[in-house]
Amino acid sequence: MVLGGKLIQHIPDSIEAALAHEQPNPRNEPGHVVKVAQGTQLHGIVGADELSVNSAHHQAAADAPAGVVVNATAPDGVIEASRRRVIASASACSGIPNF
Q: What is the mean pLDDT of residues 53-69?
A: 89
Position 33: which residue type?
Answer: V
First to last CA, the chain: 27
> Is residue 88 pLDDT above 90, yes or no?
no
Q: What is the mean pLDDT of residues 9-24?
A: 90
Cα torsion angle, 88, 91, 96, 99, sign: negative
pLDDT at 4: 75
> Is residue 91 pLDDT above 70, yes or no?
no
**Residue 65 pLDDT level (bands cut at 50, 70, 90):** confident
Indicate yes or no: pTM above 0.95.
no
pLDDT at 7: 87
